[in-house]
């Protein structure tokens, strides 16, 4: 007769016969547990290779947008810097040109004003004022003829009063410039009063960082007034070297 053997949970593990000896019974139980432990209770089913998925790390869209935004800000900042540098250079160049033009006009106007304003009783003062903004070459040229001017001016009691009507700046290149000055001169002497309106052309050189007069040529209208061309531009009638004769 076979009797059931109950396990811990009350289930029947295996049947045994009444005639089975204890040693045989223990051997059968051992073999049964060995078989049960050799097979997994819930084996994990194999997943085909085609159905396997790999995990790919994708950066968050917010992080990528922030990086592009940063790059855009850097590019804009660099562009703004370049534009600022270019604008500064252009502004500096324009300011330098304005300063140069102002100095050329100032030196030319002062020299001609000094040259056309004199008194026969103070010719030494006149000479100093004329040569205040001149090159060494012009100083030599002026002083070589000063004795003749001095004698003529003293003999005739000449006095000159000059005013500047306009100054035009011409070509400027490699430290050399040309200007034209329109002067109005009134000269009084023993023979009466005379009025002149010469166009005076000056050649200036840049010496030690400053513009200096190197040559002066005056153009006078021998007919009493400047004639005009078809476009209204004054046309000089005669040319002489200054200082202009009274």
Condensed to tens digits (0 to 9), the pLDDT of residues 167-221 reads 999 989 989 999 999 999 999 999 999 998 999 999 999 999 999 999 999 876 5
Contact in structure between 142 and 159 (CB atoms under 8 Å) = no
- Virtual torsion, Cα 214, 175, 210, 203, nearest 10 deg: 20
Average pLDDT, the chain: 75
Q: Is the dihedral of CA 82, 84, 86, 89 positive or negative?
A: negative
Residue partners of 108: CB distance under 8 A and separation at least 6: 167, 179, 181, 202, 204, 213
Segment 152-166 shows an average pLDDT of 94
Helix (H, G, I), strand (E, B) or coil at 92: helix
Give tens-digit pLDDT for 85-94. 777 767 777 8
> What pLDDT sits at residue 229?
36
What is the CATH code for 93-241?
Answer: 3.10.450.230
- The pTM assigned to this predicted structure is 0.57
Contact in structure between 213 and 204 (CB atoms under 8 Å) = yes
Spatial distance between the Cα atoms of 222 and 186, rounded to a whole number of angstroms: 15
For residue 30, pLDDT over 80 is answered with no
Which pair of tokens denotes residue 105?
């006009």
For residue 109, pLDDT over 90 is answered with yes
Q: Is the dihedral of CA 159, 163, 169, 172 positive or negative?
A: positive
Give tens-digit pLDDT for 211-230. 999 999 987 654 444 433 33
Spatial distance between the Cα atoms of 244 and 222, rounded to a whole number of angstroms: 13
Q: How confident is residue 50, by pLDDT bands cut at 50, 70 and 90?
A: low
For residue 130, pLDDT over 90 is answered with yes
Q: For residue 219, what is the enclosing H or E element?
A: strand 210-220
């Amino acid at each position: 007769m076979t009797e059931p053997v109950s396990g811990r949970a009350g289930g029947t593990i295996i049947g045994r016969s009444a005639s089975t000896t204890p040693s045989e019974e223990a051997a059968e139980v051992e073999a049964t547990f060995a078989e049960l432990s050799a097979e997994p209770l819930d084996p994990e089913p194999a997943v085909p290779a085609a159905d396997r998925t790999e995990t790919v790390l994708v950066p968050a869209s917010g992080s990528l947008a922030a990086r592009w935004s940063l790059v855009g800000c850097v590019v804009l900042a660099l562009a703004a810097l370049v534009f600022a540098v270019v604008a500064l250079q252009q502004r500096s160049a324009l300011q330098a040109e304005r300063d140069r033009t102002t100095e050329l006009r100032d030196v030319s106007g002062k020299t001609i004003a000094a040259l056309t304003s004199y008194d026969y009783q103070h010719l030494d003062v006149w000479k100093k004022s004329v040569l205040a903004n001149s090159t060494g070459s012009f100083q030599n040229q002026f002083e070589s003829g000063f004795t003749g001017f001095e004698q003529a001016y003293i003999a005739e009691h000449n006095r000159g009063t000059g005013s500047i009507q306009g100054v035009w700046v011409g070509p400027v290149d490699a430290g050399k410039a040309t200007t034209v000055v329109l002067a109005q001169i009134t000269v009084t002497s023993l023979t009466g009063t005379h009025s002149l309106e010469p166009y005076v052309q000056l050649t200036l050189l840049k010496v030690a960082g400053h513009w200096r007069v190197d040559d002066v040529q005056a153009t006078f209208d021998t007919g009493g007034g400047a004639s005009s061309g078809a476009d209204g531009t004054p046309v000089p009638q005669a040319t002489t070297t200054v200082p202009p004769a009274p």
